[in-house]
Amino acid sequence: MDTTGHTVTITINKNQYQAVEGEILLEVARREKIDIPHLCYESSLSPYGACRLCMVEVVTCGKTEMTTACTVRVHRGLEILTDTPDVIRHRKILLELYLAEAPHSDVIKAMAIRYGVTKTRFLKKIVTGDPLLGRCVLCGLCVRVCNEIMGAGAIGFVNRGPYTIVSTPFLEENPACMGCGTCAAVCPTHAIGIEDTGEKRIMRSWSGTPVEMIRCAGCGGYIGPKPVMEYARSRIDPVMAEELQELCPACRRKQVTR
């Protein structure tokens, strides 16, 4: 990142704000409570630019150009308009497309209503039996955290164009999945289903991949997926790992207070 640390003044919707040179415009907008809708942005990942909802207009020498707020980096004198008639017009069509693509997503419905979009003129996707519950908008956050942050590579994009989905290889159970659930945590439309049955965690959206759970060494209750614990152990000092007992939060508190 080319952050130089200089504080610069930028203009958003005719108001002036202070920002750090090189930071992402969308971050500035979030901090300053300027509403720019978005689905695929996550500050810990590199800019992706897929959902297109955060499109804004950049003003340069009196001319405007549409671009995504999640890919613009702040520089001195940057001038932005976030709610021009053009931006709103296109955003409404994009929301109509999302309503058709993810017809069961309440998050999308709520976003659309704020722009006065209550129904879509486009044919809704048939989502019967969809493991992602008719809510996936292919923002790619789950794929990116699984591969780039967790390093598990359990899920990925399958097919291309309008046939793109997120799933496991061959749409089969994938032992590479650690059951960490980070995918579900970052999903903006709550599309990913995880079910804890006790001794197993079932990744409903990922071809029903079962993940073994481990028990608390104290009380015997199920506390988390085994591969996650093993992964965590492998990354810390082996001596500490040896001593570290797998305890649920309640038993750990007891042990600490003892």
Q: How far is the CB of 128 from other proteins (least distance, A)?
A: 18
Token code pair at residue 174: 């994938």
Q: How far is the CB of 93 from other proteins (least distance, A)?
A: 4
Judged by beta carbon, residue 48 or residue 222, the one nearer other proteins is 48
Q: Site for other proteins (CB under 8 A): how many residues?
A: 44
Closest C-alpha among 166, 115, 163, 116 to residue 139: 166
What does the radius of gyration of the chain's CA atoms come to, in whole angstroms? Answer: 22
Judged by beta carbon, residue 116 or residue 161, the one nearer other proteins is 161
Tell which positions 82-101 bind other proteins, by CB under 8 A: 86, 89-90, 93-94, 97-98, 100-101
C-beta contacts of 67-72 below 8 A and 24+ residues apart: 69/24, 69/25, 69/26, 69/29, 69/36, 69/38, 70/24, 70/25, 70/26, 70/38, 70/40, 70/41, 71/24, 71/47, 72/24, 72/25, 72/26
Query: Counting contacts by CB under 8 A, is residue 103 touching other proteins?
Result: no
Out of 8, 50, 149, 184, name the contact with other proteins by CB under 8 A: 50
Q: How far is the CB of 13 from other proteins (least distance, A)?
A: 20
Query: Counting contacts by CB under 8 A, is residue 49 touching other proteins?
Result: yes
**Contact status, residue 74 vs residue 31, Cβ threshold 8 Å:** no
CA–CA separation, 248 vs 5, rounded Å? 42
Query: Counting contacts by CB under 8 A, is residue 37 touching other proteins?
Result: no
Out of 129, 161, 198, 238, name the contact with other proteins by CB under 8 A: 161
The residues of the shown chain that bind other proteins, judged by CB under 8 A, are: 47-52, 55, 66, 68, 71, 86, 89-90, 93-94, 97-98, 100-101, 121-123, 137-138, 140, 147, 152-164, 168-170, 174, 176
